[in-house]
Amino acid sequence: MSYSLNSNQVNYLNIGLMVLSAGLAFLFPFELFLVVYAVLGPLHYLTEISWLHDKNYFTQGRRDYLFLLGITIIITVLYFGWVPAPQGTIEFFTGLAFLGALFLVILRSGTARLVAFLAAALVLFFFAASEPFRVVFGLFLPTLIHVFLFTAMFILVGALRGRSLSGMASLAVFAGLTLSFFFYHPAHSAYHVSQYVRDNYGYFKDNGAGSSPFILVNFYITKILGLNDFGQGKVPLLDFVKNANGFLYQNPTALALMSFIAFSYTYHYLNWFSKTSIIGWHDIPRSRAFAILALWGLSLGIYAYNYFLGLQWLFFLSFTHVFLEFPLNQLTLIGIAKETRKIFATRGATAEAKR
């Protein structure tokens, strides 16, 4: 007999998963990240793409997803340097995918969509070469914004729609744990990051093509928050990478930020699997389930053989699931706005009735 959790039970389960993720992230920041990224990541990509497919990717047309899939292919080719392109090209296409997803959600007319795409492309063209744009769209959007900010949005819209104590509690716990990483920096005197972890997390080529993107997240968070004085040379990023052993893997503040990254990814994956009974992503044909399990097993084998080869193998799949989720992200933003407006409208009506 199958047993399904209701929304309140899922909320309380997720509170436990948040606490578990945060605790493990504080203890083993780098190791936890690499493990969940390799083990839970591929299964998440495959099952979410399957679920999005059954939901028509939350767009208006049956073939709208081809636009996002096509951009993912272009970015994969550019990322590995198979085709040379000017600086900012990857970020331009990422921004176009994100804004394009909004148009696919709210516009039905082909003409209106074309005009909107061209206007977006023109605006993005002028900003794509700037460093803030490249950092936000090229680095943070497919990584921390996807796993942290969009997850926070899902929690928020669920709490607003449910108006339940469990939903509000999950939102409060998520916010509190997030803040803890920025205010609590425990000493890790006995913590040692192995060479295997350093090689796979911090691998970076001078030209950037085909590098591990992980260490870039640490670099730009560190830079934005002004936590170190690297960058006195001509190439700040390379200075950071070369001096990572003395800061990234030892400094308490840097380790706390790494814990935040590990927490974000770990809970992002666990949150997805905890919602099985709510959204029913497991209700798929048996043939598809076997295919997903086979691809997951293959991915685990490649990661076990060579972790960085696994990253390259799954780059396309990872970006595909991020981009195909953009329409859902846009709908979630719209949903938050609608639910917030309802709350204020209700309060306004109540206040008016009391007069």
Tell me the pLDDT of the chain (355 aa) as tens digits: 456 778 889 999 999 999 999 999 999 999 999 999 999 999 999 999 999 999 999 998 889 999 999 999 999 999 888 888 888 899 999 999 999 999 999 999 999 999 999 999 999 999 988 888 989 998 999 999 999 999 999 999 988 888 889 989 999 999 999 999 999 888 877 888 888 888 888 766 655 554 566 888 888 888 888 776 565 555 567 777 766 767 788 888 889 999 999 999 999 999 999 998 888 899 999 999 999 999 999 999 999 999 888 888 898 999 999 999 999 999 999 999 998 888 777 666 665 566 6
For residue 1, what pLDDT is reported? 42
For residue 229, what pLDDT is reported? 59
**pTM (two decimals):** 0.91
For residue 234, what pLDDT is reported? 52
For residue 274, what pLDDT is reported? 93
Q: Are 319 and 80 in contact (CB under 8 A)?
A: no
For residue 54, what pLDDT is reported? 95
For residue 118, what pLDDT is reported? 96
